[in-house]
Chain A
């Protein structure tokens, strides 16, 4: 280059040679090894699902999946040998996904109180659906909203549209709600 203070940069670093690049070529055996590991881990994924792990079934299966994904990202996508900024971007998306999942699942944990307060939710829906089973097969009517509403009223549950849940008429006083509103 010339005598003026003109610098050329690459990824935030000064480079002195125009053709300077930071390539890294992984050896063939490395790709082959990661491929073999991924196949083995797929087998492990099956094993985990057939084993009797109970509550741990899902976390362990996800852990195996994370290991497989990390191998693909680090070696096949070459992140281990690349500028760390690409890893930063990729990991950030997972951090944001974690935030997304965390906030929503945390909010769902408090859903139980609201469900109790307004007499909606899965346990009651199961009773409604048991009643549906006793009724003759109705085809598409079976899961039609009006059929469900009718059954909910028969069981004395009311429905979200009429028990103040949607219109918000009911007072949300925790003391009163603990005794049930209906």
Chain B
């Protein structure tokens, strides 16, 4: 293959089966975009289930969704949008070789992710204590006698969608933390930062899914 390459031309971080660093970067990004496409397809199944339930039982969805806290949902939306901004700025810092900024932006992104999970914990606790659960875990508590019979259906799709999304947030925390520690070790440079970029791309998908989840679950009209 490239026996004409001298070792000084080839950075150490380029795997042997790539001719150039650009090919490695391109390959890594292609892999991530293919994976992100499958993530969208996975969430689309739950979104379709939601639309079908909403189509068949519009009144039920309207009444049941009213129990969700619109303020907390909005707070989480702003938290995720902010984390998306800081993730993008982290990638930009990596591109310009600003190591300290990269680390700080990654930390803020991770902090936002924790805030999101904290708010979700508060929301889930409230639902559980009020008996607003899927399937036959649903209980009619005092003050909730007005709820429609099929409300468990709505809460099923609510917990499934926000639950799957929450799992993705947790995985994102893990991935971003890993990248943060690699950044602290000085592994990234303005040439070699595709790992940061890929982690940020994953995180943007988490934000993207929530951008659709929020109006559909919390702001039914």
Contacts and interface: CB of A to CB of B under 8 A. Distances in A.
Contact of A46 (B56, B149, B200, B219): B219
Interface stretch (A82-90, A156-164, A165-173, A174-182): A82-90
Contacts of B215: 45, 48-49, 61-62, 64-65
B111 interface: no
A62 B52 CA distance: 16
Interface stretch (B25-33, B117-125, B159-167, B173-181): B25-33
Nearest to B88: A76
Interface in A69-127: 69, 72-73, 75-78, 82-83, 85-86, 89-90, 92-94, 96-97, 100-101, 104-105, 108, 122
B44 A97 contact: yes
Contacts of B4: 1-2, 6
Contact of B19 (A18, A32, A122, A137): A18
Contacts of B33: 86, 89-90
A71 B119 CA distance: 25
B5 to A, nearest CB: 7
Interface residues of B, number: 61
B81 interface: yes
Interface of A: 1-2, 6, 8-11, 15, 18-23, 25-26, 28, 31-32, 34-35, 38-39, 42, 45-46, 48-50, 53, 57-58, 61-62, 64-65, 68-69, 72-73, 75-78, 82-83, 85-86, 89-90, 92-94, 96-97, 100-101, 104-105, 108, 122, 129, 132, 137, 140, 142-143
